[in-house]
Amino acid sequence: MDDFLLFDRVSKRFDQDWAVRELTLAICQGEVFSLLGPSGCGKTTLLRICAGFEQPDSGRVLLQGRDITALPPHKRPVNTVFQNYALFPHLTLRQNVAFGLKLEKLPRRDIDRQVEAMLELVQLREQGDKKPHQISGGQKQRVAIARALVKRPKVLLLDEPLAALDLKLRKRMLIELDEIHDEVGTTFVYVTHDQSEAMSLSDRLAVMNDGQIEQVGTPVEVYEAPESSFTAAFIGDTNFFEGRVVAQEGDYCRLAIEGLGEVWCYNDRGRRQGELVYLSVRPEKMRLSRQPLELGRNRFSGRVEDKVYLGGESRFWVRVGEYRLAVAVQHSRYLLDQQPLQWGEEVALGWHEDDGYMLQRYAEEHEALLSLPPEDEA
Amino acid sequence: MRRSRRSECWLTLPSLLWLALFFLLPTLMVFSTSFRPADPYGGLGSGWTLETLARLYSPNYPAIIWRTLWLSAVTTLICLLVAVPVAYTLARARQRFKRLLLLLVVLPFWTNFLIRIFAWKVLLHPEGLVKQGLLLLGLVAPEASLMYCEGAVLLVLVYTYLPFAILPVYAAAERFDFGLLEAAQDLGARPWRAFCTVFLPGVRRGLLAAALVVFIPALGSYVIPDIMGGPASEMLGNKIAQRVFVDRNLPQASALSALLTLAVMVPLLLALLLNRKRPEEPVALKEGA
């Protein structure tokens, strides 16, 4: 089914501010769908509208074609994993998981069986008689998931479920979440501001900004082919160029970029001569070398202005014309390399013409989302 | 471990001494006085006797003790029933509104207790506002009296102790994570069900504290039944006062006081026992912005 869960022109305002604005979004059955965006972009509001905790000012929410907009939370076939887990502190883990089933008035034996199966799934059977304050954050997380999943929801809503955990635990829980999803096959709607979580977990994701959706797609589409400057800058990091099409040649076009020179780019949008375009080139697509590069037609020479060692990679800021370009370089033999690139060195810089991507929408304010290069040392 | 135990003892010693000097000692004095004979001048005679205890079997007492117990129990119940929704509203109110409501709760404390009780007398008086209003509405017969009955005592008891019930429940509600109510509804509980199964257990310490701070002083009430009640609505406190001021019989008064003290100890010990089994759970983090 294509629109298992459908938000149809949903709007919600708090006082004067739009939290969600005329938003339409379709989520497929069984997929892990992420709502990704900075805080205040409306992603949590959208989730709360789906759970029934907020009523939209206008628009509808449809689940399997049924309008659930007016249903109160307790009647919706969706369940939520809350950011702070919201486990009931006066109940044991087992009672927490059984809470929802007891309300369904199921026979006691069925409840026990389902609770045990769910605790087994999240590997907490031995801890079942503990109270929430006696277990760790990651375990609480798993109880919260079990408590929601035992209700067999049509959609499981996860509101920044890993935000309170430390990095290592977060990574492990991501894998566990993925395994749980494989096991139960429920549709997951996952809200996060962390792009790496969204990228690694989701089948598809929506990038949200200012109450609206910037782009919907698979992680690969969103990262490799960002439609807007917001998506390009919010997910990962990038270099923006502003230029005009001066020539077309087969699938490629030549851009004149003021302050840099001429650049070739794959023209998948059929841009015509004279059109203004914005180009995004990700730092890891750039090549840096002391020797002249054997790489396509986008070749420049520049000077290393700054360099930051980040462990997995090094980040260089290279002055080329009026531009200061971010370049990510993965290293090998770092300690044995006799001559790592140094500040002030002249280097050759370039990228493959397929690696630049022309944006459909550009706004200068989104450049603020880029990781800032260190200040110039005069 | 042992070291911290020891320093803990030293630290609590001053308050233990304080309690022993001003609480335990007077209580023991009251207990021992009830075993002394009375002398005709209102003092204590020499020697020891069990006569006073035997005279506790007066046919008047069971009725008064029973009335004291049920008036206090009903007062506690009504106070809790009112305090829970008030505390819930207070805790969920916006900051500015919350301050105003809290002010209203503590406002009565700014006026003298006796004056407030006499104010009730004015209100319930046959010519008073309440009586006349009820007459107009046809809810009360013209010859009925609103004063000098158990109802009047109960009304003023509830009025007096209500703030003491609201504040501890409010303190507990303020620490309650209201996200839990959403979680309960998310799992299929109607709002009322969520309130009962999650909110009430969440503030149970506050409820317990409120019950104690209402029930215990209510058991010992003396002024309220004295002013608002008639001879048919006397409480134990009134009898104790009578023994001291009218009969000038200190041992009798002491025996009654001892009885009251024991009656107070029972719910207190019960509460202690209930609380001992459950260590304090950490307060759940409130959802950040």
* Each residue's pLDDT tens digit, A217-251: 999 999 999 999 999 999 989 999 999 999 988 88
Q: What is the pLDDT of residues B144-194, one digit of tens each?
A: 888 888 899 999 999 999 999 999 999 999 999 999 999 999 999 999 999
pLDDT at B85: 96
Q: What is the pLDDT of residues A299-336, one digit of tens each?
A: 999 999 999 888 888 899 999 999 999 999 988 777 88
Nearest to A211 by CA among A8, A362, A17, A61: A17
pLDDT at B281: 47
Cβ–Cβ contact A152 with B under 8 A: no
Q: Name chain B contacts of A83, Cβ cutoff 8 Å.
A: 287-288
Residue A181 above 90 pLDDT?
A: yes
- CA A288 → CA A330, A344, B243, distances in Å? 11, 14, 102
Look up the pTM and report it.
Answer: 0.84
**What ipTM was assigned to the predicted interfaces of this complex?**
0.84
Section A344-366 average pLDDT: 90
Q: Name chain B contacts of A73, Cβ cutoff 8 Å.
A: 182, 185-186
Q: Name chain B contacts of A137, Cβ cutoff 8 Å.
A: none
Q: Name chain A contacts of B198, Cβ cutoff 8 Å.
A: 88
Cβ–Cβ contact A89 with B under 8 A: yes
pLDDT at B286: 39
Section A164-179 average pLDDT: 88
Delineate the domains of chain B, giving CATH numbers in brackets. Answer: 61-235 (1.10.3720.10)
Residue A84 above 80 pLDDT?
A: yes
Residue A15 above 90 pLDDT?
A: no
- Other Cβ atoms closer than 10 A to A97: 31
Average pLDDT, chain A: 91
pLDDT means per 10 residues in chain B (289 residues)?
71 87 91 88 83 80 90 97 96 93 91 92 87 86 84 94 95 95 96 96 94 92 90 89 89 90 84 68 39
CA distance A256 to chain B (A): 45
- Residue A12 bridge partners (DSSP): A20
Alpha helices in chain A (DSSP H): 43-51, 93-103, 108-121, 137-149, 167-184, 195-201, 219-224, 229-234
Q: Which residue from A79, A131, A132 is facing B187, i.e. has the nearest CB?
A: A79
Nearest to A55 by CA among A12, A109, A95: A12
pLDDT at A375: 57
Neighbouring residues of B148: CB distance < 8 A, sequence distance ≥ 6: B228, B229, B230, B233
CA distance B142 to chain A (A): 50
CA distance A305 to chain B (A): 39
pLDDT at B277: 59
Q: What tokens does B146 get?
A: 């609103």
Residue A132 above 90 pLDDT?
A: yes
Q: Name chain A contacts of B189, Cβ cutoff 8 Å.
A: 74, 99, 103
- CA A282 → CA A221, A321, A350, A355, B95, distances in Å? 14, 18, 12, 8, 47
pLDDT at B282: 45
CB contact under 8 A, A133 and B281: yes
Q: What is the pLDDT of residues B73-98, one digit of tens each?
A: 999 999 999 999 999 999 999 999 99
